[in-house]
A = this chain, B = another copy of it.
Amino acid sequence: MKELGHVSLKRPVIVVNFKTYLESSGKEALALAKLCEAVAHETGASIIVAPPLPDLALIASSVNIPVYAQHADDVRPGNTTGHVTLENFRASGASGTLLNHSERRIKVAEIHDLIGLARSLHLATIVCTNNPGVSVACAAMGPDAVAVEPPELIGGDISVTTANPGIVSDTVRAIRSVRPEVAVLCGAGVKGRADVSKALELGSDGVLLASGVVKAKDKRAVLMDLVAGLR
């Protein structure tokens, strides 16, 4: 694995987005984060967890793998009740943040500002996108990674790598030609080893997934299976 960027995004990587599922909230969030940590340490794999926002500090203080926020508001700390800021994430022990998830899109000028600010705070940024065109636009602003996910496949049973491999390879090719230092992840419907292998084969640097892990009966088995796909 080579070190990516300024902080903590080691390629290839598996990013587990807990979303706001109750199965990965509160005590369950902590348990899942500890499980991801155990698998990462046992296997040497790079695993990032993105727990629900209210659980961020608790988890960041409890595990020794990178903990990311799921979203950041483009506001500065202070008189901004109810917002989530990059500075607060850092104070709470986070290593980075997802930005512009399909369930929490933000404005283009906000993405630009947040990427620059995160860099100065030594936080990593993964910008989520929905197609190669938006991916290139976001890569041009210099995040640590872009994660392309066709919204219609998110939460579904068929992996993007099977349903639409072209969107992954097109995104990889387009980003490599303009900003080769930006990692490219893919997501939506990722469930196991074969999906991860295929993602890397298509040129990406890893996967972003949620329900495949969060809703699994045997979460450890699924995590071990995903990690197996990294080789």
Residues of A within 8 A of B (CB): 17, 19-22, 25-29, 52-58, 61, 69-71, 75, 77-85, 87-94, 98, 100-112, 129-131, 133-134, 136-138, 140-142, 154-155, 178, 210
Is chain A's binding surface mostly helix, strand, loop or mixed? loop
What's the number of copies of this chain in the assembled complex? 4
Task: Enumerate 21 A-B pairs (CB-CB under 8 Å) in ascending A order.
Answer: A19-B80, A19-B81, A20-B80, A20-B81, A20-B83, A20-B85, A20-B88, A25-B87, A25-B92, A26-B90, A26-B91, A53-B53, A54-B54, A54-B89, A54-B94, A71-B83, A108-B111, A108-B129, A112-B133, A136-B140, A137-B141
- In the bound complex, residues from chain B placing their C-beta under 8 Å from that of A20 are 75, 77-78, 80-81, 83-85, 87-88
* List of 3 A-B pairs having minimum Cβ-Cβ separation, nearest first: A71-B82, A26-B91, A82-B104
- In the bound complex, residues from chain B placing their C-beta under 8 Å from that of A71 are 81-83
CB distance from A208 to the nearest CB of B (A): 10
Docked-complex contact A103 and B91, CB < 8 angstroms? no
CB distance from A137 to the nearest CB of B (A): 4
- In the bound complex, residues from chain B placing their C-beta under 8 Å from that of A93 are 26
Docked-complex contact A105 and B110, CB < 8 angstroms? yes
